[in-house]
């Protein structure tokens, strides 16, 4: 049996405050020293620079629509309301039928094993991101089970974010990158998954965004619920062989 070293954080995370569930994903307004402001769907580190992916990329479909600025030029990052919902026509070949529990379990197990991440953590992220809806589209344009933005999906090699296995594979790879970046601190990795790593780095921890704090608490609460349920089931099995 393979042991996932990232499980060791589960008990410590039980002590985090649980906040009300809110909309998980928020756009951000980035202000530069020059006074310029950019409304972004996400940010990515690029050496000593930051790529600010503009909200206009969501409506135009241009995943390369970003502005690259020196990281030191960013003076503030604040959460802003989601832009108006953009109707999205789903490809006709995508079935609206939900995944079976067995299919989901197998996909999460494969992705978790590949990246050494507990499948229950992945399931908890999916619960918070899309509630298991493979065709989910957020107001900011994030897609699929793990709500990948088009630019992120492209970077991760995901050709179809509405294909469950591709989406899970890409989302897991991205979460793995964040866990590595934050030395397996699950709370910080989740905050970065929701608000972007630039925001986490700027605030040296979970950003003071209501949506992000609620998101982190929601995922952790679900993760711990799953681990406690597994522990209770194991104890019951040992008591009644």
CA distance 121 to 119: 5
Helices and strands per DSSP (H, E), number in the chain? 9, 5
**Residue 222 annotated as catalytic:** no
43: left (phi over 0), alpha (psi -120 to 50) or beta: beta
Identify the active-site residue in 28, 129, 211, 222.
129
> DSSP state, 82?
P
> DSSP state, 8?
G
**Facing residues of 80 across strands?**
27
**Which of these, 10, 9, 72, 1, lies nearest to 226 by C-alpha position?**
10
3-state SS class at 197: helix
Residues serving a catalytic function are 129
């Amino acid at each position: 049996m393979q042991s996932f070293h990232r499980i060791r954080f589960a008990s410590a995370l039980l002590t985090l405050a649980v906040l009300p569930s809110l909309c998980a994903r928020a756009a951000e307004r980035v202000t530069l020293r020059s006074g310029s402001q950019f409304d972004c769907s996400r940010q990515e580190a690029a050496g000593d620079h930051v790529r600010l992916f503009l909200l206009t990329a969501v409506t135009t479909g241009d995943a390369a629509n970003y502005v690259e600025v020196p990281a030191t030029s960013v003076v503030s990052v604040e959460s802003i309301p989601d832009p108006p919902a953009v109707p999205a026509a789903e490809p006709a070949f995508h079935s609206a039928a939900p995944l079976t529990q067995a299919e989901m379990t197998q996909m999460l197990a494969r992705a978790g094993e590949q990246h050494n991440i507990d499948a229950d953590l992945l399931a908890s992220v999916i619960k918070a991101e899309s509630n298991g809806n493979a065709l989910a589209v957020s107001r900011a344009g994030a897609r699929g089970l793990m709500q990948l933005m088009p630019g992120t999906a492209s970077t991760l090699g995901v050709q179809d974010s509405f294909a469950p296995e591709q989406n899970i594979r890409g989302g897991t790879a991205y979460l793995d990158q964040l866990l590595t970046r934050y030395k397996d601190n699950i709370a910080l990795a989740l905050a970065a998954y929701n608000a972007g790593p630039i925001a986490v780095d700027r605030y040296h921890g979970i950003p003071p965004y209501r949506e992000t704090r609620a998101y982190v608490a929601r995922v952790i609460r679900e993760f711990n619920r799953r681990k406690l349920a597994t522990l209770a089931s194991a104890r019951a099995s040992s008591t009644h062989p």
